[in-house]
Amino acid sequence: MSTRIITLLTDFGSEDYFVAAMKGVILTRSPKSVLVDITHAIPPQDVQAAAFTLRRVYPYFPTGSIHLAVIDPGVGSDRRPVLIDAAAHLFVGPDNGLFTLVLEEVPTARIRHLTNTAYFLPHRSSTFHGRDIFAPVAAALAEGVPPENFGPAIQDPARFQIMRSESMPDGSVAGRIIHIDHFGNCVTNLECDRLLPLLSTRSFYLQVREFQIRKLAGSYYEGAAQPGRPFLICGSAGLLEISIWSSSTAKELNFKLGEPVLLYTACIAHRPLEDL
Amino acid sequence: MSTRIITLLTDFGSEDYFVAAMKGVILTRSPKSVLVDITHAIPPQDVQAAAFTLRRVYPYFPTGSIHLAVIDPGVGSDRRPVLIDAAAHLFVGPDNGLFTLVLEEVPTARIRHLTNTAYFLPHRSSTFHGRDIFAPVAAALAEGVPPENFGPAIQDPARFQIMRSESMPDGSVAGRIIHIDHFGNCVTNLECDRLLPLLSTRSFYLQVREFQIRKLAGSYYEGAAQPGRPFLICGSAGLLEISIWSSSTAKELNFKLGEPVLLYTACIAHRPLEDL
Amino acid sequence: MSTRIITLLTDFGSEDYFVAAMKGVILTRSPKSVLVDITHAIPPQDVQAAAFTLRRVYPYFPTGSIHLAVIDPGVGSDRRPVLIDAAAHLFVGPDNGLFTLVLEEVPTARIRHLTNTAYFLPHRSSTFHGRDIFAPVAAALAEGVPPENFGPAIQDPARFQIMRSESMPDGSVAGRIIHIDHFGNCVTNLECDRLLPLLSTRSFYLQVREFQIRKLAGSYYEGAAQPGRPFLICGSAGLLEISIWSSSTAKELNFKLGEPVLLYTACIAHRPLEDL
């Protein structure tokens, strides 16, 4: 049995003993597992934020990795604990939408309801399934227990409605700010793959509230030429971001999560393309 | 020699190089040790908060684990550095009360004064014993050096006075809020084991300032039925907590650490049991 | 090939997936590497703060360690990615001054421009070289690829001007506050090695704005004798610090990073040595 990586993603913060209790449970049952924190600073109970983070990071881990994700407002209710096998990555956590973006990307994923209590801690609280159910299941997976041992396959995992960008009748593309990162960059749901070819051949602007953003930078550093001015950039998540050189866009322009954005390109623009 | 786990618990924060310096010292001297952070966000110099966290988390680690705890306002004074062997777990840190709750739980614990400087860094500062004394001692333990090599046994470790719940003459139980977690849940020192049998057979309320809390939920999710309303729950630490669904109790009700709570049960209640 | 330590130092914060993506890349390519976080809370784009932290911590790691440092405001510009071999430690990151203090300490360091794209991720963004260039290079180093394979030696690494303490014509020593730690201690650039002999034989005071600090404590605890009063101490970084017992000096006295300090000793003092 080779060493297995177990990643941890929670909204538990880092000031309590919660995350360490999970790690203690795992290392007791699977001493050679390698533990890697994704983050424990997901906003409390924000399943969608966690789904975004998980989707963006898991492909950088080796296949066979086990991803333990515990954002679990329904702990103690009848929401199911689940195990997902998707593209040779394993995911363990509550069935509350956390895995929506993974399931969208890997339609062939197999999902199981964790019903075999033999793999749980013997005494289970109704408040901390991360420690009592998900951590020991992850440890058992790391020790080579096959997925089918944990419970029956299911076909109806919980999913939230994905906020997608939309092509509008006038040819513009409507999206939203779906993530604000540590630097204050505002990540939209406009996909680079789809839009960069368009932006490279047409004039365009992105309307966000009263702002019209016309510059597409190839790197953050290009934005340094016009300090204080927002620009677009294709970020590391493959999504269009709004940035300001050496500054927090979110703070400077007071942009919020969920803020609508609208991308106009030249041949469809109904407004004059003045400079910002 | 099998791999040993060394946990780290400090008030050093995570923005400085302090924790990493300790880890570097350990890995230099014990390259195969597995390091696990408990937390480094203990409020500066709050020995009691650290004692609470340590007590709640160490039992989830395998026996043989070494727990390095450095909340050390007296560094450089004559407070002793100690090693504690309790229930097959080893604890290393300053003798300032940090281990009070472990010692209470394990009366057979053996305590040693770390006097053998052969296991310390050759050059010791008077400001950072975490790096210069405790980390290299933990590494030596992980490498199999027996406890008796580090110094003589002592019988008088420092202890703080434990804040216990008390049965009052009128039959009520007086306690306090002893911890506020990342979600704002207010953890009291009322023990579930002792009180749940009582609460399941009698009517009751918990008085906290002007609030009377009457609901005992089996899970956080049960609290969702009455949004915004505080309820009691037996938390993952085995203690009664005050929670509000999807919200921070501490912020909503402005409850503070140390806040007194008083549990009345029906046959002894002197006040009418109106709803909150 | 023995296990190699890879340390990580960034300004990425801990709420995003950025650090975990780097770790995933490393563990995919070098599964046995041991990853140790220095900190990810360097103020955004503060190359000098990162240089300070790196310089203070790397010597505590075993030789052969690989130090991955990504504070990279110029990502996507023509700033070079570099590899530095200094005193048997390896450093990987952008050539923007990050390694100034290491290079000053180890004048024999060999520096290479990372030009061999065979060791980078196949698809490289212009926004996240930590993941796409530096992490895979660190992994390759951990796997034993020799430094010369990564690119040609260079002689002109970027350096910032080091803020040094200066002897003034009147015999005083002028310095600055160059770091404020988690506890609010204000670390100056006055070196203990050089100044302690002086301070132990003469009367002295340190002038910081309107404050004259005259006490030199041997430990933080000594400061407890005069609560609320600032004192000097030789901190764990080998530099004079200004501290207040059990309190944040930076908050209490509103001292800022960069604040000038001036050390007067008795025979040169032009002002009466009243008590603070």
SS3 per residue for chain A? CCCCEEEEEECCCCCCCHHHHHHHHHHHHCCCCEEEEEECCCCCCCHHHHHHHHHHHHHHCCCCCEEEEECCCCCCCCCCEEEEEECCEEEEEECCCCCHHHHHHCCCCEEEECCCHHHCCCCCCCCCHHHHHHHHHHHHHHCCCCHHHCCCEECCCCCCCCCCCEECCCCCEEEEEEEECCCCCEEEEEEHHHHHHHHCCCCEEEEECCEEECCEECCHHHHHHCCCCEEEEECCCCEEEEEECCECHHHHHCCCCCCEEEEEEHHHCCCCCCCC
Nearest CA in chain B to A43: B183
Inform me whether the C-beta atom of residue A45 falls under 8 Å from chain B C-beta atoms.
yes
Tell me: the pLDDT tens digits for B16-55? 999 999 999 999 999 999 999 999 999 999 999 999 999 9
Instruction: Answer for the pair B36, A23: CB distance below 8 angstroms, yes or no.
Output: yes
Average pLDDT over chain B, rounded to whole?
A: 93
Instruction: Answer for the pair B216, B199: CB distance below 8 angstroms, yes or no.
Output: yes
Task: List Cβ neighbours of B107 (8 Å cut-off, separation of 6 or more).
Answer: none
Which residues does chain C have within 8 Å of residue B27's beta carbon, measured at their own beta carbons?
A: 5, 34, 36, 61-62
Inform me whether the C-beta atom of residue A196 falls under 8 Å from chain C C-beta atoms.
no
Instruction: Answer for the pair A62, C28: CB distance below 8 angstroms, yes or no.
Output: yes
- Domains in chain B (CATH in brackets) are 5-154 (3.40.50.10790), 166-265 (2.40.30.90)
The b/e string for A186-221 (b: 16+ C-beta within 10 A; e otherwise) is bbbbbbbeebeeebeeeebbbbbeeebbbbbbebbb
Our CA-based measurement puts residue B235 at a distance from the nearest CA of chain A, in whole angstroms, of 6
Average pLDDT over chain C, rounded to whole?
A: 93
Q: How far apart are CA C207 and CA C88, in angstroms?
A: 40
Q: How far apart are CA A269 and CA C273, in angstroms?
A: 74
State the pLDDT at residue C267. 59
State the pLDDT at residue C201. 83
pTM, whole model, 2 decimals? 0.94
Tell me: the pLDDT tens digits for B159-188? 999 989 999 998 899 999 999 999 999 999
Query: What does the DSSP 8-state code read for residue C30?
Result: -
Tell which B residues from 9 to 28 touch C, by Cβ distance under 8 Å. 12-18, 20-21, 23-25, 27-28
Inform me whether the C-beta atom of residue A74 falls under 8 Å from chain B C-beta atoms.
yes
Residue C274 has pLDDT above 80, yes or no: no
Our CA-based measurement puts residue C118 at a distance from the nearest CA of chain B, in whole angstroms, of 30
SS3 C137: helix
pLDDT band at A249 (very low <50, low <70, confident <90, very high): very high
Inform me whether the C-beta atom of residue B73 falls under 8 Å from chain C C-beta atoms.
yes
Max CA pair span of chain C:
68
Burial of C77 (0-12, 13-18, 19+ CB in 10 A): middle
Tell me: the pLDDT tens digits for A23-54? 999 999 999 999 999 999 999 999 999 999 99
- Listed range (A160-169, B226-235, B263-272, C256-265) with the worst mean pLDDT: B263-272
Task: List Cβ neighbours of B9 (8 Å cut-off, separation of 6 or more).
Answer: B38, B39, B40, B42, B50, B53, B54, B67, B68, B69, B70, B71
Inform me whether the C-beta atom of residue B203 falls under 8 Å from chain A C-beta atoms.
no
CA distances from C175 to A134, A149, A207, C164, C235 (A): 53, 66, 49, 7, 16
Strand B186-191 and strand B239-244: the pairing is antiparallel
CA A198, A202, A206, A211: dihedral to nearest 10 degrees?
Answer: 170
Inform me whether the C-beta atom of residue C123 falls under 8 Å from chain A C-beta atoms.
no
Tell me: the pLDDT tens digits for B196-241? 888 888 899 999 999 999 999 999 999 999 999 999 999 998 999 9
Which residues does chain C have within 8 Å of residue B128's beta carbon, measured at their own beta carbons?
A: 235-236
Nearest CA in chain C to A51: C17
State the pLDDT at residue A272. 45
State the pLDDT at residue A268. 46
Q: How far apart are CA A128 and CA A135, in angstroms?
A: 10
Instruction: Answer for the pair B25, B139: CB distance below 8 angstroms, yes or no.
Output: yes
Best residue in B89, B178, B216, B221 to probe A by mutation, most A CBs within 10 Å? Answer: B221
Query: What does the DSSP 8-state code read for residue B247?
Result: B
Residue B272 has pLDDT above 50, yes or no: no
| Contact state of B221 with A17 under an 8 Å Cβ cutoff | no
Tell me: the pLDDT tens digits for A214-236? 999 999 999 989 999 999 999 98
| CA nearest neighbour of B55 among B212, B178, B182, B195 | B178
Tell which C residues from 237 to 256 touch B, by Cβ distance under 8 Å. 246
State the pLDDT at residue C197. 87
Residue A107 has pLDDT above 70, yes or no: yes
Tell me: the pLDDT tens digits for A177-203? 999 999 999 999 999 999 988 888 889
Residue C276 has pLDDT above 70, yes or no: no
Which residues does residue A34 pair with via DSSP β-bridges, in sequence order? A5
CA distances from C180 to A91, B226, C49, C177, C259 (A): 41, 46, 10, 8, 11
Phi, psi angle pair for C50, to nearest 5°: -65, -40
SS3 C81: strand
| Contact state of B219 with A77 under an 8 Å Cβ cutoff | yes
Inform me whether the C-beta atom of residue C126 falls under 8 Å from chain A C-beta atoms.
yes
For C272, the token pair is: 């009466």
Which ipTM value was assigned to this complex?
A: 0.93
> Can you list the positions of beta strands (E) in chain B?
5-10, 34-39, 66-70, 81-86, 89-94, 110-113, 153-154, 166-167, 173-180, 186-191, 204-208, 211-213, 216-217, 230-234, 239-244, 260-265
For B26, the token pair is: 């350990």
Interchain CB contacts (distance < 8 Å): B and C: 94
Tell me: the pLDDT tens digits for C41-71? 999 999 999 999 999 999 999 999 999 999 9
For B40, the token pair is: 């480094």
Instruction: Answer for the pair A27, A19: CB distance below 8 angstroms, yes or no.
Output: no
State the pLDDT at residue A206. 96
